[in-house]
Amino acid sequence: MANLRLRGVDKAFGKVKVLQDINLDIEDGEFVVFVGPSGCGKSTLLRVIAGLEDITHGTLEIGGEAVNDRTPKERGIAMVFQSYALYPHMSVYDNMAFGLRLDKGAGRDAVDKRVREAARILQIEPYLDRLPKELSGGQRQRVAIGRAITRDPAVFLFDEPLSNLDAALRVQTRIEIARLHEKMPDTTMIYVTHDQVEAMTLADRIVVLNKGRVEQVGTPLELYHRPDNLFVAKFIGSPA
């Protein structure tokens, strides 16, 4: 179970309130996209969910349990950022296996099985022996996603994973991520972007953020046809 429930979540850095009264319910296996202008708090909200930032007020539950005091690993969360930090001197295989090997009790065969399964899902099997510098940007980002999959996360968080790619690779990798959602139907995915097209094509539901608050939550069609206010209408690009 990996449904998420946020209640009255506030986040401040010193006196600056970055998130204010966030209330959200995300279903098990849902693909939810956070959109909003630069600086509205998307990354902070993701980091709060991941446990990389403390919550100032409010509660976060995952699978029905309060997780405010749990580490990212204890929350069963994996995160992929826009800059994919692969180890340059290690093969793709070793990059993907590295974290697993650090876990006590993960045998060689079990690690191998997890790496190959993740490589199959992301279609990076042909590159397992290569070094990161021998891959394109899109292939590297798939390795970074594959590495996160090996951890078998209950919740998968993406922070603008495509923004460093050129236009063609962005489309290709976006399709890959949509396929990932189909192949991992039990994994809850939360995806941050400021790109409306990405949001509209990937999301089961979209959360529109503005100045640290939730403006509206809905399916892409609901937001497009029935925006609650002018901000949402402008941001989603609907004619209303």
Among 20, 44, 139, 141, binds ligand ADP (CB under 6 A): 44
**Shortest spacing between CB 40 and ligand ADP, in angstroms:** 4
Partner that binds at residue 38, options Mg ion, ligand ADP, none, CB closer than 5 to 8 Å by kind: ligand ADP
Point out which span in 35-43, 69-77, 108-116, 220-228 binds ligand ADP (CB under 6 A): 35-43
Q: What is the DSSP string of the chain?
A: ---EEEEEEEEEETTEEEEEEEEEEE-TT-EEEEE-STTSSHHHHHHHHHTSS--SEEEEEETTEE-TT--TTTTTEEEE-SS----TTS-HHHHHHHHHHHSTT--HHHHHHHHHHHHHHHT-GGGTTS-GGGS-HHHHHHHHHHHHHTT--SEEEEESTTTTS-HHHHHHHHHHHHHHHHH-TTSEEEEE-S-HHHHHHH-SEEEEEETTEEEEEE-HHHHHHS-SSHHHHHHHT---
Name which of residues 33 to 92 contact Mg ion (CB under 5 A). Answer: 43
Size of the site for Mg ion (CB under 5 A): 1
Stretch that binds ligand ADP, among 36-44, 74-82, 91-99, 164-172 (CB under 6 A): 36-44
The size of the interface with ligand ADP (CB under 6 A), counted in residues, is: 11
Q: Which two tokens stand for residue 69?
A: 């005091």
Q: Which of 24, 26, 43, 193 binds ligand ADP (CB under 6 A)?
A: 43
State which residue, 37 or 237, has the beta carbon closest to Mg ion: 37
64 binds, among Mg ion, ligand ADP, none (CB under 5 to 8 A by kind): none
- Rounded to the nearest whole angstrom, what is the least distance from the CB of residue 46 to ligand ADP in the complex? 8
Q: At what angle do helices 108-122 and 92-102 cross, to 10 degrees?
A: 130
Q: Which of 2, 6, 18, 62 binds ligand ADP (CB under 6 A)?
A: 18
Does the protein bind ligand ADP through residue 218 (CB under 6 A)? no
81 alpha carbon, distance to own chain's centre: 8
Q: Which residue is nearest to Mg ion (CB)?
A: 43
Nearer to ligand ADP, 9 or 92 (CB): 9
The DSSP 8-state label assigned to residue 132 in this structure reads G
Q: What residues make contact with ligand ADP under the rule CB under 6 A?
A: 13, 16, 18, 36, 38-44
Q: What residues make contact with Mg ion under the rule CB under 5 A?
A: 43
